[in-house]
Structure 1
Amino acid sequence: MNWSNIFGTMTMVFGIAMVILGLSAQVLKNFKEKRSGNPLTLAVLACAVYLSRAGYAITIDSFYILIPDTIGICLSAITIIQWFYYKKRI
């Protein structure tokens, strides 16, 4: 195993951990409290970051980066949807 594969695997594992622990906790918190605690700009920024990183990963054929970013796109999109859903309900 070369260094590129080692660091690629570490990037994927830590990226998935960051997305799953961070964003899923925010999604669950919003769901339990029936409100969105973050500003919309922060959720849109997170989604934009994950989209741009995913686009970059596709162009360089790096699936190590693409896996956590795909999860991040889904979860940050959920936080955006929650923001609009809970804003309407208030």
Structure 2
Amino acid sequence: MVYQNHTDHIAIHNATKKAYEDYKNSSDRQRVPILIYPSISEEMATQYSLNLSSDEKKMDIVIDINSSIDIKIKGLRNYKSQEDAQEFANIG
């Protein structure tokens, strides 16, 4: 994933990967961990002219958020400086 000029995103990404690796390699874990990255369907990327890598469009797991879409849109509207979030929020 590429987060150009978003040092906060890079820091969270690195911390999450380290925590995942630490847990995965620990001897006391009770479950097999999975690390899930967010992605956007190829159709949606095309619809919004998003320039995404193939990894960002690869969907192995789909989580239906229809029951909480209003909360998601409300949250996106809080990211005033993020043009892409505002664009998605305004479709709802």
The TM-score normalised by the length of structure 1 is 0.32
Higher CA-based Rg: 2
Structure holding more helix per residue: 1
Higher relative contact order (CA 8 A, sep 6+): 1
The TM-score normalised by the length of structure 2 is 0.31
